[in-house]
Amino acid sequence: MPKLLSSKQIVNIIERKGFVFISQNGSHMKFRKYGSKNLTVIVPANKKEIPIGTLHSIIRQSSISKEDFFG
């Protein structure tokens, strides 16, 4: 099982994968990747630890494999 990541770490990972910040509504940040598919990822803001289920949902939304996400 992977270690729990913070919001800041997740944002750094998805930005390296080509996602850009679009907007923030309350405690949720929206990132989008333009290309063959318009992928949108919602990340909770300012959390020290993201629950594992939420992390899996972010990975699924981003269409990034777990190996690429953590590697």
pLDDT digits over 3-62, tens only? 789 999 999 999 999 999 999 999 999 999 987 678 999 999 999 999 999 999 999 999
- Residue 70's pLDDT is 84
Burial class of residue 44 (count of CB atoms within 10 Å of its CB; 0-12, 13-18, 19+): middle
- What's the rounded Cα separation, in Å, for the pair 65 and 42? 17
**Contact assessment for residue 39 and residue 29, using Cβ atoms and an 8 Å cutoff:** no
What's the CATH fold of domain 14-70? Metal Transport, Frataxin; Chain A (3.30.920)
Reported as a pLDDT band with limits 50, 70 and 90, residue 69 is confident
- Residue 26's pLDDT is 93
